[in-house]
Structure formats: C-alpha cells, structure tokens
Structure 1
Amino acid sequence: MSSPALNEYYLNDYASNVARQICAATFSETEKVSGSDIKKLTSVRQVNYFVIKYLFQNWKKEMKQITASPYFNYDHPEVKEALITFKNKVSNHILIAENDLEPLVKESVKDTLMLMYSPYDYFIAEFKQSAPLKVKTLEEKGKYLTINKKLWDSLIASLKNSSEEEFTAGYLESEFNKVCEESGHEPDSIDHIIEDLGEYQPIEEGKLYSESRGDYDADPVHEEKVVESEVSLKETDEMINENIEEEDSNNPKPIVDKYQSDYETLNDKVASERGKVKTLADQNLNSIKKGLSLNQRYMFTRELFGGDPQMFDQAIEKLDDCSEYNEVISLIEKEFAPNNHWNMDSYEVSEFMHMVNRRFPD
C-alpha cells in the first residue's frame, strides 16, 4: 500500500532532542524514577505508555534469560508458582536511572510520531518485528495505544473469527489491509499532542515527510520480539487501564492572491508533474478514494480539510465524479484550496495532486 514516507533522519533527530529535554527535567532533582513517575513523565500519555511498553519488553527478556538455565527445573509446578509471585513483586518495584531511561524515551517519542502521522506503517512494523503473534499478544499490545487504536481493535475482532492460534506477519498485513479498506474509522485528533510536544520542540511538518514515496523501513533494533507471558503484570495494568484520555491560524494569503503573485498557478504546478506520473508503476486510478492509503487519508483529512473526515469524504467523492481534468482543477482552485487555506507549496498539496494526476493521467 503506497503511502507518504516519513523522514527517518528527522524522526531520529527530533526524538533525540525531545528525549534529552524530558530526561533533563525529570532527573533535575532525583537520580532514579519509579513506575508512578513514568506514568506522569510527560503530558503526552502516548509517550508515557510507550516508555512503559519498552520497559516491560526488556523486563520479559530478562525473565526469559533467568528461566533458560540448564541446571534448574523452572517447569516444576512449585517453582512456576513461586516465579509468578516473584515476577509480580519485581514488576511493582521499578527504579530506573537517566542513562537507562533516555533511550526508551527516544524510541517512545519516535513511535508516537509514527502513530500520529503514519499509523499504517507503525502497525505493519509491529507485525514484522513481533510475528508470529497470538490474539492475546495483540490485545496486550493494544493496551499501549491511546491514539488511532480503533483500527487495531478492528483487526483483533477480525482475527477472533479465525481458527488459527497465531498469525504470521504476512497474514496480519493482509488482514489489516482488509480492515483499512472496509472500516470507516476517522483519524483521531492529534492537535493536543502536537501542542504538548511543541513545548519541547515544535514539530516541523515540512521536514517530517521524506522526498521519496514508499514504505517505511523500520530499524531492526527498534523493538525486541515480544515473549508470551503467563503472569499478569499488575503495575502495567494499573498504568495502562487508567482512563485513556487549535492549531493557530495565521490567516494565510488568499489563494487567488497567490495566483496573481509570483507563485505558480495550480494548472502550471500540476502540469509540470503530470509527465512524472507516467513513469510510476500502476499509475492510473479508477477512483481516488480506493487508491488512498490509510496514511494519506489521515494526512489529507488533517492537513487539507481541517480534520473534518466528512468534508474530506465529500471532496473526494466530488473529484471521483468529475468527468475531465479541467473540472477537477476548477473544483480544487475555486472551492477546496481557498476554503481550507491550502499552502500550495506544501508536501500535502503535492501528494494530493499526485493522486489527482493518477486519476486523470491524460
């Protein structure tokens, strides 16, 4: 599924800077933090939850190493019972230093940006890094999501109808694509997260997207494979099961004024790119709506249609109902662009016009 790619270099740089600031503030008056401190580490709940996620993945890895001893029988009923008690006790006594926490915060900030701006790629990366997966493990992973969680829940609901006990990455990706195509889920608002992260460092959305289109290549050290756990992590449940909880307008220059200035007209801008479409594989689309990836749908809704899914859907239906290219350009130039104050030089408009070109290539 084609989608706008995020700039890996920008993601890493941004996450590093923000993590450094978060930890500097957190450890200004203490040497180590507890589990309760991590719950309120930042005002961005999604970042806090991802930190908890990484923390317990590492914890499970440590427990697996302990029970891998060739000298002791960890399968004995009495040992297993004692081990569960021990694990639960340890899980309730988190204590972590700054140098150990900062890498977890960095990955958590990066994951949060992925989930905000490129949810499809985030979910696919989850499948590839952790498969094969059972429904139970998917449900556990879902506990750490506070935004764009509805699609994840829909996938789980779909998998519960299967007779299989665990699923490969390829199967999960295939089923998730079906869920994306069939669901009418609206993207969650991320304005509050943008504002909260902006207190550390404003997100430069112009730098967020890379020039090339394509799938996001996840860092192989991004996440350890999840190990099935027979123990209920009380600390995690307490952290996760608590209640899950405007961009300023700069009155941009009217679109008609921009056409009268030194900006390219929309026709000129699109015409300069139309030839490029012919070099792309599978370039023609019978429907813009059917050709949109999940990431594109979320991006266009938020950036070009004021976060209003209904307005976006109506606009796409109007475009798909057009019979010729000039009719499409007229709609965009006279209605969509001026009504929503589009920045005609933005990545989002360029990507949107790329889809229009694929629908009307000639």
Structure 2
Amino acid sequence: MEDKYNQLHLEQYSKQLANLLCDRHFATHDSLNGPQLIGFTPVKQTNLFVIKELLLKWHQEMATLRSPYFDYEHEEVKVALLNFMNVLSRKILMKRNAFEPLLQKAIYDTFIVVLAPMVTFEEKFLRIQEEITLPKLQENLKYIDIDKHLFAGFIETLSPGNRDREYILSRFKLYLNANQNSRTSLSDLIAQLSNLLAISENEVLGKPAPTAVPVSRTAPTPAAPIEEKEVVAPIHNAQRETSAPTAKPVYREDEDGEEESVANQRPTLNDNFRKASPTSLADAHSNRKIDSLKNSISINQRFSFINELFEGDNMTYYQTVKQLDEYTDAEAAKLYVMQEVAVKYDWSKKQEHVSKLLRLIDRKFS
C-alpha cells in the first residue's frame, strides 16, 4: 500500500532544503558542473533525479530543432545528434537560477519513491515514453537508486507484448502489494535527509507531533502575590452551543405549510457544487478545450487532487479520472462526480479543489 503524505509540507521542505544546499555551494562557486552534480547531495537518488530532469530538458530542446528543410530522421543525423548529446552531457554547466528548481523537484520526487512508488513508476517510466518497450523501461532504471531491485524485478516480469499503460500500472500495483517487505522504509530516508535539514516522519505523513507528558512538580510559593490573568478553558462544542447567545430565529413556510427555521437549513452538497468560484485571469488563460483529463492534469495538480479530494488514495484517483474521460457529455460526468465520488469522500468543505476539477470537466466537453 502507498502511504498518505502531506504534500504541502513536502513541497515546503524540498524548497527549503534546495535553498540551503544552493546557498552552501554557490557561496563559493559561480556555477555547477557535471562532476559536482553527481555528488551534490549525499542522497544518490536525488542526484540521479536531477540528471534525469536534465535529460528531459535536452529532449525538449531537441524537439525544437525540427525543421522543414532538413531530414532529422535520417540515420546519419540521428547518430550525429546522439554523439552531440554524449559530448554535451560531459559539459554540464548551470547557474543557480536554473539548477535550484531542478534540485527542489528532485528532492520531492525522492520522497515520492518511498511514499508512492506507483506515482514514481508512472512518471519516471511510463509518462515520458511515446511507445512503451522493455528496452526503454530498462533504460530508465539508470536513474533509480532507492528500491531499484523492486522496479527492475517488476520489469523482468513483463513480456515484450505488454504495451498498455493501464494494464502495466495495474500489474505493478499487484507486484508492490506482494513485495511490501522489500521496500525502503520512510524512516531510513528521513534519517539521511535529516542530516541535511531536520524533518520528522510525523511531518511527512501529516500526523500531529507527539506531546510530551508533563512532569508534576511542586512549584515554589511566590514571594508576593501576582496579578492573575483569566485563563479561558477549552469549551466543548455542546457547551459552546448551550452558552452562546442565540439570535431570534427566522421562519418561513415549507411545501406543507409548516413553519421552518431558515437558520437551520444547512447547504447541501449540491448547493456547494453550484457555488463554483469565479474564473480568474489565470484560469481564463487555461480555458481552452482539452481532449483528456488524464493527460491534461499537471503533476502538481494531480498530487493536490489525490491528497485533498481522494485522501491520498492514488488508485481511486486514477480510476475516477479514467471513468470521467469515458463520458460523452459534461452533465453525465458531473453527475457521476456528485453522486458517486463526492459523497464517498465528503467534498462539501473542499470547494476550491472541487471547482478546479469541475472546470477541467467543462473544458473537456466544451
């Protein structure tokens, strides 16, 4: 099973640690080169993820080189570009403003390997592949250090004909469940990272820190009386409701002619769904039609939905998005969300995230 985690705290910690490590390095260096990158942190997985992000940047830049005047698919051109990439990979040189965001994401992704290996497998092995093949999956193992045996062992179970992403993900989930005991523990990772910047397991998992049991001691009698300050004890909800002054209720007639208190009418889940927040300028910029929810939800937005709307349940999130993509109109999709999913996870107090999901549904069927 994958652990529930506090995404916001992980993002804040990753940003703080990246900032701290960059402060140390760039205090005496103007830039960062390849050899320095390989051992930049004592956590090898973090360094490998930075390198993998650089590889993605390279492919993005190469995509811009396509031209109507030259044949980039010619074998000689492909070989030349590969040689060029090999030379360039040995000439890495980054300023702080380019490197720090890569480091921040790599630190965050290092946590995710331990907390949500399903997410890691999808992002690092499947999402970047236009076509899934065993050699390409095995190639990505170069950038995995934590639980590498787990990912490698699963890939060995696949046949060359396994190319369906959803099928592979479902197989990987079963494989994880059968090999829980071989996973790296969160405490092991925290022990490494805490040497760089303190963090606790409770903070990562969003659990309250244990409170120390007070030791009863006899306090010395003060030499002179001091002015006492009023201490307000916590009030139980029932006591608060009893003691709080009540306003005069306002009544109106219901459908049967009976008087009904307006104050006692609580908004329903459907009411909350109707109160969608107004579209901001940033949202307006992103209101263009999308073909697929699955492919249009960003990584950060996906983590936000999983944690806030699905209580950290990755698989239910994926199944829900897949189901929504199969609908043919927005009303049917929204009805499914309201009647099936929202009730299960009680989305009545999560209007901001619900509104974002509904806007994505509208864009898909616009």
Residue 73 of structure 1 corresponds to 71
Query: SS of the residue aligned with 1:69?
Result: coil
C-alpha distance in structure 2 between counterparts of 1:4 and 1:117, whole Å: 5
Shift of 1:221: 4.8
C-alpha distance in structure 1 between counterparts of 2:110 and 2:63, whole Å: 28
Does the C-alpha gap of structure 1 residues 100 and 116 become closer, same or farther in structure 2, counting only changes over 3 Å? Answer: same
Does the C-alpha gap of structure 1 residues 13 and 184 become closer, same or farther in structure 2, counting only changes over 3 Å? Answer: closer
Shift of 1:81: 3.2
CA contact (8 A) 2:134 2:155 kept: yes
Shift of 1:100: 0.4
Instruction: State how 1:234-313 maps to structure 2 within 5 Å.
Output: none
Shift of 1:185: 5.0
Shift of 1:177: 2.1
Does the C-alpha gap of structure 1 residues 184 and 193 become closer, same or farther in structure 2, counting only changes over 3 Å? Answer: closer
Shift of 1:126: 4.0
Residue 158 of structure 1 corresponds to 157
Residue 197 of structure 2 corresponds to 201
Deviations 1:196-239 (CA, angstroms, capped at 9, x unpaired): 3113321222222248xxxxxx97256xxxxxxxxxxxxxxxxx
RMSD: 3.0
Which one is further off, 148-157 or 37-46?
Answer: 148-157
Residue 84 of structure 1 corresponds to 82
Query: SS of the residue aligned with 1:151?
Result: helix
Number of residue equivalences: 215
Does the C-alpha gap of structure 1 residues 133 and 101 become closer, same or farther in structure 2, counting only changes over 3 Å? Answer: same
Structure 2: any 5+ residue segments left out of the alignment? 208-295, 301-313, 316-366
Instruction: State how 1:84-233 maps to structure 2 within 5 Å.
Output: 84-126=82-124, 129-130=127-128, 132-159=131-158, 161-164=159-162, 167-183=163-179, 185-188=181-184, 193-210=189-206, 220-221=298-299
C-alpha distance in structure 2 between counterparts of 1:185 and 1:60, whole Å: 36
Q: Identity over the aligned pairs, expressed in percent?
A: 29
C-alpha distance in structure 1 between counterparts of 2:53 and 2:148, whole Å: 18
C-alpha distance in structure 1 between counterparts of 2:165 and 2:78, whole Å: 31
Residue 59 of structure 1 corresponds to 58
Does the C-alpha gap of structure 1 residues 16 and 219 become closer, same or farther in structure 2, counting only changes over 3 Å? Answer: farther
Query: SS of the residue aligned with 1:4?
Result: coil
Does the C-alpha gap of structure 1 residues 113 and 181 become closer, same or farther in structure 2, counting only changes over 3 Å? Answer: closer
C-alpha distance in structure 1 between counterparts of 2:134 and 2:75, whole Å: 26
Instruction: State how 1:313-324 maps to structure 2 within 5 Å.
Output: none
Query: SS of the residue aligned with 1:74?
Result: coil
Paired letter, 2:184: D
Paired letter, 1:145: I
Structure 1: any 5+ residue segments left out of the alignment? 212-217, 223-292, 295-362
C-alpha distance in structure 1 between counterparts of 2:2 and 2:180, whole Å: 18
Does the C-alpha gap of structure 1 residues 111 and 219 become closer, same or farther in structure 2, counting only changes over 3 Å? Answer: farther
Shift of 1:189: 5.4
CA contact (8 A) 1:119 1:148 kept: no
Does the C-alpha gap of structure 1 residues 119 and 34 become closer, same or farther in structure 2, counting only changes over 3 Å? Answer: same
CA contact (8 A) 1:154 1:179 kept: no
Does the C-alpha gap of structure 1 residues 219 and 206 become closer, same or farther in structure 2, counting only changes over 3 Å? Answer: farther
Shift of 1:168: 3.1
Query: SS of the residue aligned with 2:51?
Result: helix
C-alpha distance in structure 1 between counterparts of 2:122 and 2:88, whole Å: 32
Paired letter, 2:18: A
Does the C-alpha gap of structure 1 residues 112 and 184 become closer, same or farther in structure 2, counting only changes over 3 Å? Answer: closer
Query: SS of the residue aligned with 1:25?
Result: helix
C-alpha distance in structure 1 between counterparts of 2:79 and 2:112, whole Å: 39
- TM-score computed with the length of structure 2 as normaliser: 0.53
C-alpha distance in structure 1 between counterparts of 2:126 and 2:10, whole Å: 20
Higher relative contact order (CA 8 A, sep 6+): 1
Shift of 1:122: 2.9
CA contact (8 A) 2:133 2:160 kept: no
- TM-score computed with the length of structure 1 as normaliser: 0.53
Paired letter, 1:158: T
Q: Which has the larger radius of gyration?
A: 2
C-alpha distance in structure 2 between counterparts of 1:168 and 1:219, whole Å: 20
